[in-house]
Amino acid sequence: MTATYTAFAGYRRLCHGPLAEVTRAALAAQAEAHTGPVLIFNDATGHQTDPDARPAPVAPPPAAETPEDSDAPKGRGRPKLGVIGREVTLLPRHWDWLATQPGGASVVLRRLIDDARRAEAAAPPSPRQRQEATYRFLQAIAGDLPGYEDALRALFAGDSAGFSARIADWPHDLRQYAEHLAAG
């Protein structure tokens, strides 16, 4: 599932979609003389993301290996592939079970982690995750609005009707997105 993002110029919602598309729209809006800063939010987490206006980096040609480099002690893992060796502490019964699995301990651990990540991504967000995402969004954009603290109290108390009542007078786009985040 592709992550989606939403951009705001002030309290006005600009666009929603994949990060590259939202970033292009945000940068175009910032280029306009009458538009202030544009904020981009991750729809799943409420985290603010800064638009990256830099051009794509050009990779330098690979450096030739010198004899000094080849004599250097090698680190653990496969650094050229982005693999960094780290230590995992398990009990003897865990190591015994891993030893019976095909592919070795690393393969099994990677597979278990990937399965857990997929299951977590497929599961709907918990009420706590929705509250935290809404809080992050409101903290970044709505801290000066009337009833902000009361709205947060209602949010974390699980009082959706009270939350909606406290943000009823806020700008439409901001209110609609906050209610969307809170409801999941």
Neighbours of 76 (CB within 10 A): 10
CA distance 163 to 131: 11
- Prediction pTM value: 0.66
Q: What is the pLDDT of residues 115-162, one digit of tens each?
A: 888 887 777 888 999 999 999 999 999 999 999 999 999 999 999 999
Neighbours of 18 (CB within 10 A): 11
Chain Cα centroid distance, residue 70: 39
CB 41, CB 140: distance < 8 Å: yes
Q: What is the pLDDT of residues 41-53, one digit of tens each?
A: 999 999 998 876 6
Strands 48-49 and 77-78: unpaired
DSSP 60: P
